[in-house]
């Protein structure tokens, strides 16, 4: 599914939007979350998109969230390759995840500079808990107000439904890579805002010279 990155204006500010060239669907935001393998649990990559248009048939006119892609593997090379693929395919500038692990030391080893993958910290990383993720999922899937769509092939519903109350209380987010990667995206959607497009260096430079 090739995507095209375009711009739109809201008042005096410009923002990115993402167009699926196959389906024609347009998204206001797309985030990719990554979580490392943990013990027997494979590492996980999740791509979550937010519709550009609001749904005025629902209270408060929300935007729907859709899982656009996911991948899991215990093999670091396969995970690295898929991260690069998703970043290029969905026209993303960064990937949400943690670099605070010894695994990161071998993540980009022997990779050329243009092939390396780095991560940006998710929204308020230390405050992302299994309980917070569970609460946000409930908010988006309650009866009559469903705004979160996993798709028929997603493995996330089974991971989420398999969480026990004891696991939620322990709050070992990193022990559940699929939920963690998805949660990074979901929290970014819930608490972050679309980022404004900054002016190019060349344009700023011309303005400075004109002064």
Structural domain boundaries in the chain: 3-210
pLDDT in tens, 102-118: 899 889 988 898 899 99
Please tell me what DSSP assigns to residue 144.
T
Distances (CA, A) of 143 to 26, 58, 64, 91, 146: 25, 12, 14, 33, 6
pLDDT beyond 60 at 36: yes
Q: For domain 3-210, give its CATH number from 2.60.40, 3.30.160, 3.30.420, 3.40.50.
A: 3.30.420
pLDDT beyond 80 at 19: yes
Number of H-type helices and E-type strands within the chain: 7, 6
Q: To 10 degrees, what angle do helices 177-191 and 130-141 make? A: 60
User: What's the pLDDT score for residue 84?
Assistant: 96
Task: Indicate the pLDDT class of residue 209, thresholds 50, 70 and 90.
Answer: very low
Cβ contact 160:183 at 8 Å = no
Long-range contacts of 132-140 (CB under 8 A, 24+ apart): 132/183, 132/187, 133/173, 133/179, 133/182, 133/183, 133/186, 133/187, 134/160, 134/163, 134/168, 136/183, 136/186, 136/187, 136/190, 137/186, 140/65
User: What's the pLDDT score for residue 161?
Assistant: 93
Q: Residue 31: beta bridge partners?
A: 48
Cα 144 vs. chain centroid, distance in angstroms? 25
User: What's the pLDDT score for residue 205?
Assistant: 45
pLDDT over 90, % of the chain? 70
Please tell me what DSSP assigns to residue 44.
E
pTM, 2 dp: 0.90
pLDDT in tens, 58-92: 999 999 999 999 999 999 999 999 999 999 999 99
CA separation for the pair 91, 4 (Å, rounded): 7
Window from 87-91, 114-118, 134-138, 203-207 with minimum mean pLDDT? 203-207
CA separation for the pair 117, 142 (Å, rounded): 36
User: What's the pLDDT score for residue 124?
Assistant: 80
pLDDT beyond 70 at 211: no
Q: Residue 43: beta bridge partners?
A: 73
The more confident residue out of 12 and 209 is 12
pLDDT beyond 70 at 200: no
Mean pLDDT of the chain: 90
The more confident residue out of 187 and 169 is 187
**Token pair 């993720």: residue:** 133
């Amino acid at each position: 599914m090739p995507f095209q990155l375009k711009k739109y204006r809201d008042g005096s500010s410009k923002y990115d939007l993402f167009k699926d060239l196959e389906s024609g669907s347009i998204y206001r935001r797309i985030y990719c979350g990554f979580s490392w393998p943990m013990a027997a649990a494979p590492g996980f990559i999740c791509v979550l998109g937010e519709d550009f248009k609001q749904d005025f048939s629902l209270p408060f006119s929300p935007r729907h969230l859709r899982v656009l892609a996911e991948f899991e593997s215990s093999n670091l090379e396969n995970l690295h390759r898929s991260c690069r693929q998703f970043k290029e395919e969905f026209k993303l500038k960064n990937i949400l995840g943690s670099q605070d692990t010894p695994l990161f030391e071998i993540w980009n080893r022997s990779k050329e500079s243009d092939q390396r993958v780095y991560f940006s910290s998710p929204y308020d990383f230390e405050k992302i808990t299994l309980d917070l993720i569970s609460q946000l999922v409930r908010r988006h899937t309650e009866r009559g107000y469903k705004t979160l769509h996993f798709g028929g092939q997603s493995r996330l519903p089974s991971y989420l439904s398999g969480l026990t109350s004891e696991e939620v209380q322990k709050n070992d987010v990193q022990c559940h890579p699929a939920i963690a990667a998805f949660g990074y995206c979901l929290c970014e959607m819930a608490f972050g805002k679309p980022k404004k497009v900054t002016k190019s260096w060349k344009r700023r430079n011309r303005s400075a010279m004109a002064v």
